[in-house]
Amino acid sequence: MDFTEDQIQRYSRHIILPEVGGLGQIKIRQASCFIVGAGGLGAPAAMYLAAAGIGKLGIIDDDNVDLSNLQRQVIHHTRDVGTHKAESAKAKINAMNPDVEVVIHRDRLKAHNARELVAGYDYILDGTDNFATKFLINDLSVFTGIPMVHGGILRFSGQAMVVIPGQSACYRCVFHEAPPEGIVPTCQEAGVLGVLAGVIGTIQATEVLKMVLGIGTVLKNRLLTYQALESEFREVRVKKNPKCPVCGDHPTITELVDGEDRACAL
Amino acid sequence: MAVSVRIPAPLRKLTGGLGDVTVDAGNVATLVDKLEAAYPGLKARLCDDSGQIRPFVNIYVNDEDIRFLKGPDTPVNDGDSVSIVPAIAGG
């Protein structure tokens, strides 16, 4: 697994970090991450993981680029409007770092295809914009044992946490279930400061790299929240819940299920 | 008991934009009722029709989830800090 001269130069600022080094850079090259959604969170996460030299990125999105996406989904350009997001993302990543293998799926992550799609990946990164898929990704992580990095943004707020199945609280330990229809505004109604996607998406990518490298303290059993207007990061402790419906002692959810696609936040 | 309550951004339109409010209460259930009295509409966002905390909302007393304490009966004391943290699904 030798690096070429160009690769040594490309990753030199990593390699000179004692916590990364040549061996760490090899770990990054051997790692893979499946990103659900090539949108606000998925765009910066994919770009930084690609720039870092991750070996393989899986990207799933069934949507086309819309002009209203460009305020935050920085992987897509004006000329991409109307094209498939997954393809648009792949083109940018290939141009940025040809070392990265990019596998795209023009599809939605659903209960019936989820296990097959993430098979073989080391990490799952939640870049989705709806509760149904966020809970599906959580359950998928618990069932497959693949660590997952959650992220969410709305208006001027964001949050992130890491789920390490069997070791840490899962998303359902913290938030049992998706809100019922009609309780919460949709993303389109609520709005989001575009740069929030960059703040939270890059935190998610950072957590993936920390896990790949085995350095630092991963954001597990902690829910990090960011309030942009106050420039305030806070965290609350979260715990593995013995009564959790998916990872608790007596789970009631034992199979992946599709929820209703709705809503953004409280 | 004067307790400081951290209001999440999505609910601040109900508190006139305030991110931190102070409430006199002895436990979390009373605290929610006091919040409702001061800021009508807040309780419905936090609790369902039967008064249970909604499953996609978490309330923390001094950064400890009340679900692992005594739920709505969790006592609060002078100087305690209460945070309300809702799930956020945007991306």
Q: Tell me what the mean pLDDT of segment A28-54 comes to.
A: 98
**Does the beta-carbon distance from A265 to B55 stay under 8 Å?**
no
How far apart CA A158 and CA A228 sit, in angstroms, is 8
Question: How is chain A split into domains, by residue range?
Answer: 15-237
- Phi-psi region at A53: left, alpha or beta (left = phi > 0; alpha = psi -120 to 50): left
- Considering only CB atoms, A155 lies closest to which of B9, B67, B68, namely B9
Provide the pLDDT for residue A49. 98
Whether A203 contacts A196, CB under 8 Å: no
Q: Tell me what the mean pLDDT of segment B28-56 comes to.
A: 92
pLDDT band at A77 (very low <50, low <70, confident <90, very high): very high
Domain boundaries A15-237, CATH class:
alpha beta
Q: What CATH number was assigned to the domain covering residues B2-86?
A: 3.10.20.30
Provide the pLDDT for residue B63. 84
Predicted ipTM?
Answer: 0.82
Question: How is chain B split into domains, by residue range?
Answer: 2-86
pLDDT band at A259 (very low <50, low <70, confident <90, very high): confident
Provide the pLDDT for residue A261. 57
3-class SS at B62?
coil
pLDDT band at B13 (very low <50, low <70, confident <90, very high): confident
Whether A162 contacts A224, CB under 8 Å: no
How far apart CA A54 and CA A150 sit, in angstroms, is 19
Provide the pLDDT for residue B50. 87
**Does the beta-carbon distance from B88 to A158 stay under 8 Å?**
yes
Q: Mutating which of A72, A109, A154 best tests the B interface, going by the most B Cβ atoms within 10 A?
A: A154
Cβ–Cβ contact A225 with B under 8 A = yes
**Whole-prediction pTM value?**
0.92
